[in-house]
Every structure is written in C-alpha cells, then in structure tokens.
Structure 1
Amino acid sequence: MEQLVKELVATLGAWLPAPHAALFAGLGEGSSFSGAGLWRVEHRDAIYVLRRWPAAATSQRLDEIIRLQRHLAAANLAVAAPLALADSPEKFVHTHFGANAEFWTLSPWLAGVADYWTYPRAARLKSALRTLADVHLAASSHAPPDANGGPRTARSPALQKRADRLAALQAGDLAELKSYVTRGPASLTRELAFHALAHSERALPRLSHESHRWREESLPLQWVLRDVWHDHLLFTEDRVTGVLDFGAVAVDSPAGDVARLLGSLVGDDEAAWQLGLDAYASRRQLAPDELAAARFFDASGTLLSAMNWVHWLYRDSSSLGPNVDLPAAHRRLERLVSRLRSLASV
C-alpha cells in the first residue's frame, strides 16, 4: 500500500503542484471489470479522478478517446475531458515506463450518482436519452479517424462482429461453453449459467437468421460510446450530470448506443422504451432502419453479453482480473438471464 501511495503521488505531480497534499480513495475496485485503476483525488479545493488505463491501451487509442472527450466537453456536455500535463499543455497522458508502459490521465470529478435503478422515474429516463442524443449530435461533427470528416453511411462494424459471433455460437461454441460450465463447481452462479445457456440456445436460431440482414445493412456511422449503460450515467435529482467511461468509443451506429442504454435502464418495459425513444427523437431523429437496428442491437447484445459472462466465469477468467467481485458478476449475469427468458419466448 505504501508503494502504491508513492506511485500515485508521483503520478499526480505530472499535473498538480504539491501532490503529497492530496487525499486518494480507490474507486470501483472489482466492479468495473475493465482492468483500469481509478482513484478519487482531493487536492486543495478541487476533486479529480486519476485513471490508470488497462494494459491493452495504446497511445494512439488514448489520443482518439481524449480528442473525442475534449470535443464533447467543448460542446458543454456533461463529459470530463482529461487535463493537460503541467509542463506540456498539448499533452494529456502521463506515461510511466517500468516493466511495461503505463498510461495515466487526470480528469475533473463529475457530480452525481449512478442510481437510476434505485430511483427510476420518467423524468430521469427522458434526461438520459436526451443527453445521449446531444452526445451523438456533438460527436457527429468530430471526424472519424479513417474518413475525411463527418458521419457516413456504411455497414456497422459491431453488427458484422455480432453476426460472426452468433454464427460461431451456433456452430459449436455454445455447446463448448456448456461443457465448461458442467465441469465447474456447483453453485448458484453455475445454475444461473445453465439457465443462460438454455435460453440462449432457444433464441439463437432466430437471432442468427436476423443477423444476415444486419451484417449487410448500411447505416449512418459516426463516433459513438458503445458502453453507455446504467453505471456510466450520473444523476443529480432528475438531471444527467455525468457521462462516464469512454474506453470503448468507436465509429459505429448510434442505434447501438440507444439500445445499450435503454436495455440497461428499462429492460423489456416496452412503454419505457417508447418514452425513451421519443425523448431521444426530440433531439435527434432515428431513421426507420436505425430503429429496427436498435431492436436487433438490444436482442443480440443481451444474448452475447450473457455468453461473454459465462465465458469469463467458466472458461477464461483472465479478462476479469485477479480482484473480480464475484457477487457483482453474479448480479450482472442475473439481470441478463432475466432478459434472456423473455427473448427466448418470442
């Protein structure tokens, strides 16, 4: 612990004077499943978040993420853009070279709590979807890294990957996952995994068939968040005051974000889905094919997320890291199984 504090103080000094005066508190250990390290930093009269990025991060990838964050923050959205280094105002990442390169960023603290599930109100749902639409509108003017600026229409990379993954599950991966779960120790989580496999097996033929269309469908593409869900939206009363975690951003269809957020917040509540879609449309219209894509994003994402958790829990736990919070993982899988049950009955 003493060595960690020394490392945090030394790292903080890349941005702030007198870093030894700061107070540190760990955030999200065992609950983010991202491999990142997060610390709340109190320094003088301000609060920050210090982030150590996952080992898989690269300087090029961080540059993409930070440029988008700064673009959105400049549009007065509830996004915390990383701060510039004290001695390099054009740089935002501190790199520590040890056995492996480590990348660190420091961002302002955003007020609010990710507590929609505790206080699910219509006003909050509307605020969430309007905020997402505002993020998409602002992001549409941010040039993709592989195009000459602005949004474009093409096949969705995410939907192509999902079609491939569904096909692989149908071709034998699902049966292989079942064999790993069967060999696991008896537990409530293993029973939950068996339920996930059974529901997925029933839903898989229909979704795999539908994926043929979405593999080839052209959709509007632009920068999107890709991991916008309950825990990444902060609320102050009924207003969104923070959008967190840009680690998964990429150029893809905004329909994927709409599906990810609505599925996370309201599950299979059709009336709430419509309320959220209407709120989103009050800022940014979704074309009919985007609306249809959102439904497939949601259904396929539910099944594939459940299978990912089964994979991580029973076949390869390396993605979860050594300090995984197993009760939290169980709760995540439990929510997915509840939705799979409805999906399998269609």
Structure 2
Amino acid sequence: MQDDKQQSVLRWVLANYSSQYHPTQCVPINQAGFSGARVWKATTTAGEFAVRQWPAEGLHSDRLLGLHQLLHHMRDQNFALIAPPVTAGSGTTLVEAINHYWQLEPWMPGAANYQTQPSEAKLSAALRALAAWHRAAATFRPSENHRQWFASHDSAASPGIGERLRLVFKWNSQRLDMAARSVEGHTWPEFCDVALNLISAFKSIAPRVADELRMAASLRFRLQPCLRDVWHDHILFVGDEVTGIIDPSACRSETVAGDIARLVGSFVGDDRRGWETALTAYQSVCRLSIDERAAVELFDRSGVLLSGMTWVQWVAMEGRPVDDRERVLARMTTILSRLQNMGG
C-alpha cells in the first residue's frame, strides 16, 4: 500500500475501536516477510499498541479467534508476558478490511537482543518464561470449534514429529535434484554456494533423522497449546529480564519439547553447556519426562535439517523475494554449520 492509502486504511481499522485507541501516529515496523504478516506501531492516548495485518491467505479466522481466547485466558492466569488483542466495538478481536484480518494488541517493551548481548542469566530467564507460558496455557479449555487447534491431551502422538517425518520423505531424490537445478539457475552466487552445501548435507543426514522420527512417531506425550515457532527474535529483554514473548501465530497443540528445542537452538546452537543451563532453568518451573527430554533433541536435529531445505525451497524453487540478503545468508550459514556438526 502507498503511504497515504496505508494511513487511511489504518485509521479506518482503528476507528472500529473506542476513541482511546485512535492513533496520533502509526509507524510501520516491518515489511511483509515470508509469513506475510505486517505490523505498525500505533501511538494512542491509551499508550503504544501494535497493529497487526494478517496475510489474505493466512490463518483461518476461527483459529485466530481461538488463539485470542487462549491469550486472554493466560492473562487471566496472571501471565503478563503476552499481548492479548484488544476487543473492538463490535465485540470481536478481529477486524476485517481490504481482504485482510487486523488486530490491535499492546506494544511489548524490550528488545530481542540475546545474540548481541548474551548471558547465562538471560538464557535462564527465557526458559523460565517459556515454562511459565506452557504452565499457563495448559489450563486453557477451548470451546468446541477451537479444540482442533488448542486442546490438551494426557497421552497422544506428537503432530510435529509426524509432520517432520512426512517432510523428510517429501524431499526424495527427484525433488532434491530439482532443488539443486533451481539453485544452480539462481543469480545470487553466495546463496547458491550455501544452498548446494545444504542439499548435500541433507542427503547425508536425512536417513538417520528419518529413522529417529519413525521410532518417535509411536511414542505418546502430553499435548497442550504450544508456540511452535518461538525463537530468538520472539523473546524480548530489558536487561536480563524477559519482558515479552511475541508472535504466537503458529500456536497449536503439541508437546512442549518442540518449543524448547526451537528456542534453545536459536539461542545457543550446539553449545552443550548452554543446553544444560536452558533445560535446568525450564525444569525449575516445569519438569520434563524422559521421553520429553529425548524429544527435545530430536526436534532440534530434525528442525535444523528441514529449515535449511525450507530456505532452498523459498528462495530458489519458489522465487520469493529476499529484502535482507545478509540476514538470510547468515541464517542459512548457521544452519549449515549445525548440520556439519551433526555429521553432514
């Protein structure tokens, strides 16, 4: 959207809320990334808020509304590190405009700065905050039309393990050859070098990881609402304290092992001491079973394996535009390094 049109749409969206939320200023925070979501920072008489525009082909509105109910329930449980969306004048937490859904949520203070300012105290605080998130979310009882996404189960197979097994098998030799040809035809040489190495590492490691996933697919875990994409950039700090856990859009029922793996891997990579510090901090709030501990490692390995191929698919095979090449290349290089440490 052009700036004038963009501001006009934002004013229309926020006019659906009470006057205290009408903005004096709206500043874009990001361009639409691969997720398609866009965010603006709105200054109002009630304080600072985030205006989130969901992509036109994004999440089902029922799932978003169920997620909003979960967040409000967690706030009612005195978990303060989240941003439950504000209710509009119509009584809903979603506003529809120009073929998009929109929501207004409190702006969370702090910065996602662990990588530039790491410390053991921050790592421990992040994992205690994640455990507290899980503890609060586990008490949520979704309405019937939201159970498919947010129900808890005492003993069930992990959806994530099954999905990852299918994704590994999907990358068969024919598709890997197609990916390599797409990479070789790309005009970004630095990307091509890393991408071809990622494909080679996948071929080497995938059979072992597939065997591990196949065995784990028969295990039963406690399932509950989990973030499923909680990583470095979603944990905000002021000093050594966590002040926010943002962007829960991928939330769905899963074993907590998936969240732990995603977050700790993004913080410390292959630093075993960091992993022990993180797991100790998490278990000071919520204990893990033996199977959950093992699943953390499997989610980490399979996540690293598949994330490299996701970048290859997005950039080379689908031709998605990359606004920040340096950042994308750094993430791909980190993935490659971890794969090489896994034996690739």
Which TM-score applies when normalising by structure 1? 0.92
CA distance in 1, matches of 2:150, 2:194: 47
CA distance in 1, matches of 2:67, 2:20: 28
Map of 2:39 onto structure 1:
38
Map of 1:270 onto structure 2:
272
Percent same amino acid among aligned pairs?
Answer: 32
Answer yes or no: is 1:339 the counterpart of 2:338: yes
Residue 205 of structure 1: CA displacement? 1.5
Map of 2:202 onto structure 1:
200
Q: Which amino acid aligns with 1:80?
A: A
Deviation digits for residues 58-92 of structure 1 (CA, Å, limit 9, x no counterpart): 2211112111111222222200100011x23x311
CA distance in 1, matches of 2:247, 2:205: 31
Residue 328 of structure 1: CA displacement? 2.5
For the aligned residue pairs, the C-alpha RMSD in angstroms reads 1.9
Q: Which amino acid aligns with 1:112?
A: G
Q: Which amino acid aligns with 1:290?
A: E
CA distance in 2, matches of 1:232, 1:148: 20
Match of 2:171, SS?
helix
Kept in 2, the 8 Å contact 1:200–1:344? The answer is no
Match of 1:162, SS?
helix
Match of 1:158, SS?
helix
Map of 1:329 onto structure 2:
328
Q: Which amino acid aligns with 2:131?
A: A
Residue 336 of structure 1: CA displacement? 1.2
CA distance in 2, matches of 1:261, 1:60: 27
Map of 2:112 onto structure 1:
114
CA distance in 2, matches of 1:240, 1:323: 30
CA distance in 2, matches of 1:122, 1:49: 30
Deviation digits for residues 17-57 of structure 1 (CA, Å, limit 9, x no counterpart): 27775211111225x43101100011135100000112222
Q: Which amino acid aligns with 1:52?
A: Q
CA distance in 1, matches of 2:10, 2:184: 43
Select between 238-247 and 204-213 the one with higher mean Cα deviation.
204-213
Answer yes or no: is 1:84 the counterpart of 2:83: no
Map of 2:233 onto structure 1:
231
Kept in 2, the 8 Å contact 1:9–1:19? The answer is no
What does 1:138-287 correspond to in 2, within 5 Å?
138-143=136-141, 145-146=147-148, 150-185=152-187, 187-287=189-289
CA distance in 2, matches of 1:29, 1:73: 29
Select between 302-311 and 209-218 the one with higher mean Cα deviation.
209-218
CA distance in 2, matches of 1:252, 1:119: 31
CA distance in 2, matches of 1:193, 1:41: 39
Kept in 1, the 8 Å contact 2:150–2:252? The answer is no
Q: Which amino acid aligns with 1:156?
A: S
CA distance in 1, matches of 2:199, 2:26: 42
CA distance in 1, matches of 2:173, 2:222: 31
Residue 104 of structure 1: CA displacement? 0.6
CA distance in 2, matches of 1:120, 1:186: 32
Residue 194 of structure 1: CA displacement? 1.2
CA distance in 2, matches of 1:168, 1:33: 21
Deviation digits for residues 312-346 of structure 1 (CA, Å, limit 9, x no counterpart): 0100135xxx574333322221221121111125x
CA distance in 1, matches of 2:341, 2:279: 21
Q: Which amino acid aligns with 2:37?
A: A
Q: Which amino acid aligns with 2:85?
A: P
Kept in 1, the 8 Å contact 2:151–2:225? The answer is no
Residue 147 of structure 1: CA displacement? 9.4
CA distance in 1, matches of 2:245, 2:150: 27
For structure 2, list consecutive stretches of 5 or more residues without a partner in the other structure: none
For structure 1, list consecutive stretches of 5 or more residues without a partner in the other structure: none
Residue 185 of structure 1: CA displacement? 2.3
Match of 2:314, SS?
helix
Residue 176 of structure 1: CA displacement? 2.2
Select between 66-75 and 270-279 the one with higher mean Cα deviation.
66-75
Map of 2:52 onto structure 1:
51
Kept in 2, the 8 Å contact 1:143–1:151? The answer is no
Kept in 2, the 8 Å contact 1:25–1:39? The answer is yes
Q: 1:178 to 1:7 in 2, by over 3 A?
A: same
Answer yes or no: is 1:103 the counterpart of 2:101: yes
Select between 215-224 and 20-29 the one with higher mean Cα deviation.
20-29
CA distance in 1, matches of 2:116, 2:149: 42
Kept in 1, the 8 Å contact 2:112–2:232? The answer is yes
Match of 1:331, SS?
helix
